[in-house]
Amino acid sequence: MRVSLHTAELHYRSGLVLHTASSGSVPHLAELYLRLDDGERIGIGEVRTNIGYLNGFASEDVVADAISAAGALDWSRGPIELLNSIPDWVERWTAPVRMLLDCALHDLVD
């Protein structure tokens, strides 16, 4: 299994900055993508990382947690076996990272 993490900043048109009561100023969306390639299929997971105002996690912490998870998982196990181990991840990785893994792994399931 080939595993890679990618980040992207999705900017609003013409320098627009979004302001909301809960988030304050949001100049762009900070995205984190997990790409899984098993040689036959590609799975993609995506989470927005700059939503600390909602989940309490700093963007850098979500990215670091995703790097930790990507390095720790035994990718030789099949996607169904990995998905079945999600309950074991609750104490180990944050909810955004578990969602990232869950989405990408589900793309690999027939």
| Residue 34's CATH number | 3.30.390.10
Give me the half-sphere count of Cα atoms (radius 13 Å) on the Cβ side of residue 23.
16
Q: Which whole number is the average pLDDT over 18-46?
A: 87
Q: In which band, very low, low, confident or very high, does the pLDDT at 21 lie, cut at 50, 70 and 90?
A: low
Range of the domain at 53: 2-107
CB atoms closer than 10 angstroms to residue 5: 15
Distances (CA, A) of 30 to 14, 16, 82, 96, 107: 17, 15, 27, 13, 22
| HSE-CB of 44 using CA atoms within 13 angstroms | 6
Q: pLDDT, tens digit, for every residue of 39-95?
A: 999 999 999 998 887 788 999 999 999 999 999 999 999 999 999 999 999 889 999
Number of domains into which the chain is organized = 1
